[in-house]
Amino acid sequence: MKLDVHVCGRTVAKLYRERDEYVLSYLPDTAPTDFVSLTMPVREEPWRWPRDLHPFFRQNLPEGYLLSIIREEFGPLLDGTDLSLLAVVGGMGIGRVTVTPEGGVPGGDMEPLQIESLLKAKNTTAHFASLVRRYARVSISGMVPKFIAPEENADASAHVVGKPTLRTSRYIIKGSDDSTPYLGFNEFHTMRVLERLNIVPVARTRMSEDGCILVVDRFDVDVQGIVTHGVEDACGLLGLPPHEKYATTTERVLNATRVYVPATAIRTQLEQFGWHLLTNYVVRNADCHAKNIALYYTGLKNVAYTPAYDIVTTQAYPRYAANPPGLSVDGRQTWAVGKTLERFFKARLGITPKQYAEMVERLCESAVEVGQEVIEAARNEPRWHTLAKHMVYAWNDGMTSLRSPKGLVVFRGLHEAIAQVGFSEPERTESGRKMIGRSELLGKPRKR
């Protein structure tokens, strides 16, 4: 089996298996700007990878629930290899690179989805499962239920697509499952802690009225859905397969990504990395791994960290509340950071202890403000009560662990707001680390 590899709709390479290796071979006269990956620039000699697909091509392969659906729906087209899976889903996905069977055309003819109606609908587990099944033939990674779909009522001018362009959906739609109820509510408000500061780019999100669905604006496409950017996560840049996304460190992730950032932008980009890292500690997101830190670019001279995405208060779910941070810092994988983060910021990011303390306090102040919004939302909608309670308790824990206990200033927290609303103590956490995304939606495969 040979696959065509396209960059923004232009066919630039062939991808195939040769004995025990996977091979990416650029076509003659491919422009240097049409590189497939930062790690695989255009050259005459093929790029080979032993046993498995090159890490770049594995970064967007479906996981978890979506992968199980694809296996059910397209089983006859799959031979057990990632190459055959890529042949099924690679025609539409995240970033400027698409993959099709030889002679195939990137993109897909899928039924449009009314995004606004979805935000107002009653999004039951069964309803969302049917949507995932309908839009399964798309290359998107992640363990939680999600999909990409073309939206209805898009700008008519966006349908005029020339050969060098590729039009796709402007949104990623994420759902909840039984282990992460109201995930849309959780992620929407958690992301707001960083977003409302308006300091660094953050992916724009919208929550459905029932709190079950999150619609995320893609940052790799323009307002017409034309792909503009390549996207590569740190997992692929490190040469790791997706299932090893936790098997690295913050230092290695930083080293693997910063090398591609232009020198003129390195200071602001390292600060952006720092804001993202700190936010995870404030809101207690244990699921920031090597696939949730990524670069995007239009060319080698315009490489930057993507807007922050996939920030969730994992401690709000008892099943995952005992999980430590996804990646270690200075050999430590704990929420009790002490001086560890401050030293990392100074030595690795060039951020002074004074600036670090200011960043911590700005994030904590934002967490207090958004925390009060979360409490108010729970007052108005009882179904969010338990999740909201666990979220604000988690944020209080995060703020306490980052602020210096020796400070003379009495810092604002959420204790008073929690007491006023009458929240009880959080539920007991389940022991042992558990991975996000083992969806309760998963069922037994259908017999054929």
Q: Does the predicted TM-score (pTM) go above 0.85?
A: yes
Instruction: Name the DSSP letter for residue 46.
Output: P
**Distance, CA of 378 to chain centre:** 26
Mean pLDDT to the nearest integer, 6-31 = 95
Per-domain boundaries in the chain:
315-421
At 443, the pLDDT band (50, 70, 90 cuts) reads: very low
How far CA 216 is from CA of 128, 147, 177, 278, in Å, comes to 16, 11, 18, 22
Q: How many CB atoms lie within 10 A of CB 207?
A: 21
Closest listed residue to residue 210, CA positions, set 113, 121, 311, 116: 121
Mean pLDDT to the nearest integer, 411-421 = 79
CB 234 within 8 A of CB 247: no
- Return the higher-pLDDT residue of 143 and 377: 377
At 393, the pLDDT band (50, 70, 90 cuts) reads: very high
- Of the listed ranges 75-84, 313-322, 438-447, the least confidently predicted one is 438-447
Tell me: the pLDDT tens digits for 48-76? 999 899 999 999 888 777 788 888 877 87
Phi and psi at residue 177, to the nearest 5°: -140, -175
Closest listed residue to residue 183, CA positions, set 61, 319, 92, 275: 319
* Distance between CA atoms of residues 161 and 53, nearest Å: 30
- Return the higher-pLDDT residue of 63 and 257: 257
pLDDT of residue 433: 59
Closest listed residue to residue 139, CA positions, set 184, 183, 79, 99: 99
Please name the residue ranges forming H helices in 238-265: 250-258
* Distance between CA atoms of residues 250 and 328, nearest Å: 6
Task: Answer whether residue 271 shows pLDDT above 90.
Answer: yes
Task: Answer whether residue 156 shows pLDDT above 50.
Answer: no
**Distance, CA of 169 to chain centre:** 16
CB 262 within 8 A of CB 374: no
Task: Answer whether residue 163 shows pLDDT above 90.
Answer: no
- Return the higher-pLDDT residue of 429 and 301: 301
pLDDT of residue 439: 37
Task: Answer whether residue 150 shows pLDDT above 80.
Answer: no
pLDDT of residue 446: 39
* Distance between CA atoms of residues 191 and 131, nearest Å: 25
At 347, the pLDDT band (50, 70, 90 cuts) reads: very high
Strand order in the sheet with 214-217: 146-148, 171-174, 214-217, 205-207
pLDDT of residue 406: 59
pLDDT of residue 34: 97
Task: Answer whether residue 438 shows pLDDT above 60.
Answer: no
* Distance between CA atoms of residues 153 and 338, nearest Å: 52
> Is the Cα torsion angle 421, 425, 431, 432 positive or negative in sign?
positive
- Return the higher-pLDDT residue of 127 and 287: 287
Q: How many CA atoms, within 13 angstroms, populate the side-chain half-sphere of residue 73?
A: 17
pLDDT of residue 440: 34
At 103, the pLDDT band (50, 70, 90 cuts) reads: confident
* Distance between CA atoms of residues 30 and 361, nearest Å: 50
- Of the listed ranges 65-69, 108-112, 355-359, the least confidently predicted one is 108-112
**Cα angle 396-397-403, degrees, rounded to a multiple of 5:** 85
Structure tokens at 72: 């059910």
CB 311 within 8 A of CB 235: no
**Residues, the chain:** 448
Task: Answer whether residue 407 shows pLDDT above 70.
Answer: no
pLDDT of residue 409: 52
Mean pLDDT to the nearest integer, 135-152 = 78
* Distance between CA atoms of residues 391 and 17, nearest Å: 47
Tell me: the pLDDT tens digits for 292-319? 999 999 999 999 999 999 999 999 999 9
Bridge partners, residue 10, by sequence: 7
Place of tokens 């539409």: 92
